[in-house]
Structure 1
Amino acid sequence: MKNRCYSLRNVLAIAFLCVAMLWTASASAEDKFPTKQLTYVVTFDPGGQSDREARRQQKYLHQSLGQQIVVDYVVGGGGAVGWKELTRTKPDGYTFYTINTPHIILQPMQQNVGYKTEQIVPVAMFQSTPLGLAVNADSPFKTVDDLLAAAKKDPGGVTIGGSAAFSGHHMATLRLEKLADVHFSYVPFTGSAPQMTAILGGHVDAVFANSDDLVRFKDKLRVLAFSTEQRFPHFPDAPTLKEKGFNMVDSIDRGVGVPLNTPAEAIATLEKAFLEISNNPDIQKEMRDQGFVPLSMGHAASVEYIKKVTAEYTELANSIKK
């Protein structure tokens, strides 16, 4: 009888141990991020830079994270509609959004757009597009001087298109107005795709456009100048605005962000996946060939970068208002 009791106790102990091990394994699996499908929200029109980059990254994210990646769209307000939604999204890491600087800085600085820059937590920044000033290939404006002369002669009569109000494109237009002492009519679009459709269709006189768009449509456009420190490699004959006497360096930088209070573990996992992609030599070559400038900034570096750019644009915005 005594041996039977010991045997029963042993069986119960083993059973309890097995249950405990199963529970621990189950809890561990639940805690490991990610365990289900993730959503990559693009905040600009399909076909634009953010969309094309998300599509490029999609398969690599699937391989790295081991889960399906669904690309979705929340478009409007030059990204503002999507970033407003970002701040109201469940902070679990399963939904992340495209972010652009300086858009996420300038928009809340200029008006109430339903979100604040500090409500967006950057995961990584992986791409930049310097801005170039361009016209249609059959435009009467052959040089920057021609465009500025027309603007001086007819204030507000020359239209410049850009991606959204209170964006990097808008700020570049305002800076050139101030430095050249001219006045343009700025025409905002919901993204770069409709912006380029407008210039190709002759609906605006000029655009401050992203470098990759200028490369894509180089046979249909005339690039008057680049807002860069050095001449852009794809357009060695196009001067910089600095060469023309205007101290301007402007670009649109892209990454992804999540809401405040997203777990650090989730941010770190996403950060690692995006940095693996941005550090891939083949992807970097693809980007350069297409007219992009590759970036590779993780969470901490992106936070510091956004702080730096915020300070710069705060000062710049104040100087333009004067």
Structure 2
Amino acid sequence: MKLPNVASGTRALLAAAILTLGGIGGAAAFPDKPVEYIIPFGPGGESDIAARLQQPYFKKMFGQDLVISYKEGGGGAVGWAQLNGLNADGHTIMGINLPHIVIQPAEKDVGYKTDDMVPVYWFQYTPDAIVVPAGSEFKTLQDLIAYAKENPGRVTFSGSGKGTANHLAQVRFDKLAGIKTTYVPFGGTGPATAAVLGNQVSASWGYTTVGAAQGDQVRMLAVAMEERHPLFPDVPTFKELGFDMTGGALRGIAVPKGVAEEKRKAWSDMIAKINKDEGFRKQMLDGGFALIDVPYGEMQAFMQKQKDDYISAAKEAGILK
């Protein structure tokens, strides 16, 4: 839309007014009431932490509250199975995770299918990391590997559910390192971390965010990144130690299938704006997260590639036949 030839300040005000009204037919601003932001895990995990970091930026930028609630269970499956039955006026969103939403329905009937989901933006990921308690006998990754070779199955790893990034990482690393360890699935990163802090397991397949949150209580032996995380300059990458391993859990936002196309795009734009804010970016990096930007317009191609890659990796790991 071409604006009239007016002074720059007036022009800016006019542009803002047009955006607020929606430009056509005087449509109401969106969102026009508080938004329910559902996390399909319990409190305290990465999905919850990231959502709470987004809250004040959303309020400041768009004038509405993000009201966080939880529908935990089944490694996220309980919430995702209910997503398309929720209010489709655009004021309900849900956190989603990869590889979870690809592997779970490929493995068995979990009440939803990957292709029925409507992701509108992927905004962050957490690199995989091996985490041990600060007092662990394993001071280095090689210590853990040596023990695991002498004691097959005795090293136990907590992780966030079956068929998750944690689970795939455990299976893949066992193969790369020529060891056999035991994976113990929990209902999210929070309880998986509590298990390693409480010495219920030998170690955890967690993320860099666990190291950021737990500080001196834990030690990370390696991270699955191309380069070291800026928050942990002393923690080597798996690649540095001779293991070709990068990856982690991707997190984004989805809406119910009935949400109109223009509102899907609006959500993509809103999350993108938050993700570009320097204050938000710093908080995320300081929390051990890594940022990505996959908007709604690129979603179809992105999701197809993720499906192909994760299904292939799960078959190679023996999680899928």
Which TM-score band (shorter chain)? 0.7 to 0.9
The 5-angstrom pairing of residues 243-262 of structure 1 reads 243-262=240-259
Indicate the residue corresponding to 1:191 in structure 2: 188
Alignment-derived partner of residue 297 in structure 1: 294
**What residue number does 1:4 align with?**
none
1:241 paired residue among 238, 242, 248: 238
Map of 1:35 onto structure 2: 32
**Within 5 Å, which residues of 2 pair with 1:145-164?**
145-164=142-161
Once residues 181 and 171 of structure 1 are traced to their aligned partners in structure 2, the CA distance between those partners, rounded to angstroms, is 15
CA distance in structure 2 between the partners assigned to 1:134 and 1:69 by the alignment:
32
Deviations 1:132-171 (A, max 9, x none): 1121111111222221222222222110111111100000
Verify the 8 A CA contact 2:157 2:183 in the aligned structure 1.
yes
Q: Tell me which moved more, 276-285 or 244-253.
A: 244-253
- Code of the residue aligned with 2:50 in structure 1: it is E
Deviation string 1:241-286 (CA, Å, 9 cap, x unpaired) is 2222221111111111012242111112212211110010111111
Aligned length: 296
Structure 1 residues 220-229 or 274-283, which shifts more? Answer: 220-229
Shift of 1:74: 0.4
| 5+ long unaligned stretches in structure 2 | 1-23
Correspondent of 2:225 among 213, 228, 231: 228
Correspondent of 1:95 among 92, 95, 99: 92
Kept after mapping to 1: 8 A contact 2:211/2:220: yes
Q: Which residue of 1 aligns with 2:10?
A: none
Equivalent in 116, 120, 125 of residue 123 of structure 1: 120
Alignment check: 8 A CA contact 2:231 2:285 kept: no
Question: Which deviates more from structure 2 when the two are superposed, residues 142-151 or residues 60-69?
Answer: 60-69
CA drift of 1:175 comes to: 0.3
Unaligned stretches of 5+ residues in structure 1 = 1-26
1:214 is aligned, of 207, 211, 216, to 211
Larger radius of gyration: 1
How many percent of aligned residue pairs carry the same amino acid?
A: 39
- Given that 1:279 and 1:296 are in contact with CA atoms closer than 8 Å, whether structure 2 keeps it comes out as no
Q: Which residue of 1 aligns with 2:277?
A: 280
Contact 1:173 1:208 in 2 (8 A): yes
Instruction: Quote the residue 2:177 is aligned against.
Output: 180
Runs of 4+ in 1 over 4 A off after TM superposition: 27-32
Identify if the C-alpha distance between structure 1 residues 189 and 29 changes in structure 2 by more than 3 Å, giving closer, same or farther.
farther
Q: Which amino acid aligns with 2:92?
A: T
Aligned twin of 1:265 = 262
**C-alpha displacement at 1:31, in angstroms?**
6.2
What SS does structure 2 have at the residue aligned with 1:274?
A: helix
Cα distance per residue 1:68-112 (max 9 Å; x no partner): 432111011111111111132233322110011111112112222
Matching residue's letter, 1:175: R
Instruction: Using structure 2 for the length normalisation, give the TM-score.
Output: 0.86
Q: 1:217 is paired with a residue of what secondary structure?
A: helix
- Determine the C-alpha separation between the residues in 2 that align with 1:285 and 1:61: 16
State the SS of the aligned residue for 1:114. Answer: coil
**Conserved? CA contact 1:132–1:227, under 8 Å:** yes
Larger displacement relative to structure 2 (199-208 or 252-261):
252-261
Q: Equivalents in 2 of 1:62, 1:237: separation in Å?
A: 37
Deviation at 1:210, TM superposition (A): 1.4
Tell me, yes or no, if the aligned pair for 2:130 and 2:207 is still in contact at 8 Å.
Answer: no
1:114 and 2:111 matched: yes
Q: Secondary structure at the match of 1:86?
A: helix
* Residue 104 of structure 2 corresponds to residue 104 of structure 1: no
Q: CA deviation at 1:318?
A: 1.7
Residue identity opposite 1:260 in structure 2: K
- Give the corresponding residue for 1:54: 51
Q: Given the two structures, how large is their TM-score scaled by the length of structure 1? A: 0.86
Distance in 1 (CA, whole Å) between partners of 2:64 and 2:252 is 20
CA gap of 1:64–1:232, structure 2 versus 1, over 3 A, is: closer
Contact 1:119 1:259 (C-alpha < 8 Å) held by counterparts: no
